[in-house]
Amino acid sequence: MVGTPEKALLRAELLAARSLLSGEDARAAAAVLTASAMALPELTRARTVAAYVSVGREPGTRALLDALRERGVRVLLPVLLPDNDLDWAVYEGPGGLAKAGRGLLEPAGPRLGPAAVLQAQAVLLPGLAVDARGMRLGRGGGSYDRVLARIARAGADPALVVLLYAHEVLERVPEEPHDHPVHAVVTPDVTLRFRVSGGGYGD
């Protein structure tokens, strides 16, 4: 894990709160999140979306992945590399997912390389919180820090979107120089957008 002690403490608090959610609550939230996310202009305009398979009590993405695919969107899912960087492969449906380390599910298809994320017009980022400025708190593994740095170096401009529970939108989260703000956060209660310099979808 990377980050400051302040981040570590906040992560622990947020993960503890997620662990208290019932399966029914998580499923109900996932259904609302899917409907709200599918209505986002950031996703309706996208031909390729980089996303992830939710696990445990993460805000659910599985129905969203299928809905995007049914719409004809090319969905890229991450494959964790030994150095914690992310490779990518196309999502071919639930039957194309395989169990991987750390309790993750990964696409079993051909690997496209870490740079494949640059093809996406929207990137769904996992997170534990987003604040009023659009700063995101991740789990601390550093994988998505590398992804966001790669996007910035390439001058790409995808919409960066995070799915969260309502209580995970905070006034402020700790940040470090390498942290990147996102363009939007979707919760079961509300969708918020942030003004992000260099982001084509920030409004």
Question: Residues within the annotated binding site for ATP?
Answer: 7-11, 136-144
For residue 57 the two structure tokens come to: 């009590």
Neighbours of 121 (CB within 10 A): 20
- Binding positions: 7-11, 53, 58, 136-144
Residue whose tokens read 């196309």: 90
- Say how far apart CA 194 and CA 183 lie, in whole Å: 5
- Binding positions for substrate: 53, 58
| Contacts of 36 by beta carbon, 8 Å cutoff, 6+ apart | 186, 188, 191
The residue type found at 145 is: D
For residue 115 the two structure tokens come to: 């740079």
- Please give the backbone phi and psi of residue 105, each rounded to the nearest 5 degrees, phi first: -115, 130
| Contacts of 40 by beta carbon, 8 Å cutoff, 6+ apart | 161, 184, 186, 191
